[in-house]
Amino acid sequence: MVCAGLLERGYDVAGLDLAPEPGGFTGTWFTADCADPDAVDAVLRRLEKSGPLDAVVHLASIPDEAPLPVILESHVHTTAALLDAMVDHGVSRIVYASSNHAVGRTPRTGLLSVDVSPRPDTFYGVGKVAAEALLRLYVDRHSLDAVALRIGSFLPRPETRRHLATWLSHDDAVRMVEAALNATDPGFAVLYGISANTRAWWDLEPGRRLGYDPRDDAEVFAPKVEATPETEADRVEAAHVGGPFVTERYYRPGMRRD
């Protein structure tokens, strides 16, 4: 969705993924592992032959819970490989797909700011916290610009009561990434990746200061979502920022012993 949206807006986009090139993609595509620093370096070397590179948009990861070593490779090793290549090739900006699960164990009370302390709800959340810390380090060491997008519920439409607060539409996701690419001197910045939801749990103002102007609102789907009675699962999901990720079905050992 993001690649296609940026192409439609006139950006030159190169994709890098373990998966082969998707049908209909009109940019340049590389099938490689972005956790492999040599592979990432080779891709940037090829791309810079056509001119300087402006930014990296890092969306690659396992988007769910997994064993801790797998999470660290998926979220932290990939980020490190990309950051090292950026420094080596003079790329000054990265836009990173972080997650609300970096603060998912935070009890839900008032509107949540980006200044709240990290409080991950899963190893997935731990990976996002660690990747954000790595971004902060490279911003301080190498004067990069890094924008971490703490994405909510990225879906075609809201499906649960929680989603009425945490939904991020496909169109707003592209608007958010574009804003992060063009924000003036953000340094290290964090924003919450949700649409302009009437019931939003998280503060959109940090994103607005970076130029993110969400236009969709989950409220238009509320009648259909609320057509069925509220359940205990709905109440559990409403208790913490991370929703269902705080529940015991996500518990597992960090380092499993045979």
Query: Could you list the active site residues?
Result: 124
CA distance linking residue 99 with residue 87, whole number of Å: 24
Mode of pairing for the β-strands spanning 167-168 and 14-17: unpaired
One-letter amino acid for residue 184 of the chain: T
b/e per residue, 52-89, with b = 16+ CB within 10 A?
Answer: ebebbbbbbbeeebbebeebbbbbbbbbbbbbebbeeb
CA distance linking residue 123 with residue 253, whole number of Å: 10
Mode of pairing for the β-strands spanning 93-99 and 145-151: parallel
Q: Angle CA(99)–CA(102)–CA(105) in degrees, nearest 5?
A: 125
- The C-alpha torsion from 197 through 203 and 209 to 213, rounded to 10°, is -10
